[in-house]
Amino acid sequence: MSSETVNLSIPFDFLLQAIAQLDSTEKERLWEFLDEDLHGDGEDEVADPQEEAEVAQVYREYEAGDYLTLDEYVAQRADRLL
């Protein structure tokens, strides 16, 4: 039995369409995979406690629904400039 490697090239738009069809559990698994792939296990990095605290705070605010979309932010900013 031989082992062969196949390189597959998928257009990014097709990949986005496939991801959009995933259920929330599958998207969460993908997010965790990508986060691990991008950031590794963190053992090699020197963590900045202040930065980690700021990021944790932003995640808590996001999970609580306390955030603005980019469109909302731009609209509010435009209102302030008038």
DSSP state of 42: S
CA angle at 61 for the pair 68 and 55, rounded to the nearest 5°: 105
Residue 20 is predicted with a pLDDT of: 94
* Global confidence as pTM: 0.42
Residues 33-59 have pLDDT tens digits of 998 888 876 555 667 889 889 989 988
pLDDT for 26: 95
Q: φ, ψ for residue 48 (rounded to 5)?
A: -95, 110
Domain ranges (residues) in the chain:
8-45, 47-82
Give 76's DSSP letter: H
Question: How big is the CA angle at 40 (ends 53 and 16), to the nearest 5 degrees?
Answer: 95
Contacts of 61 (CB under 8 A, 6+ apart): 67
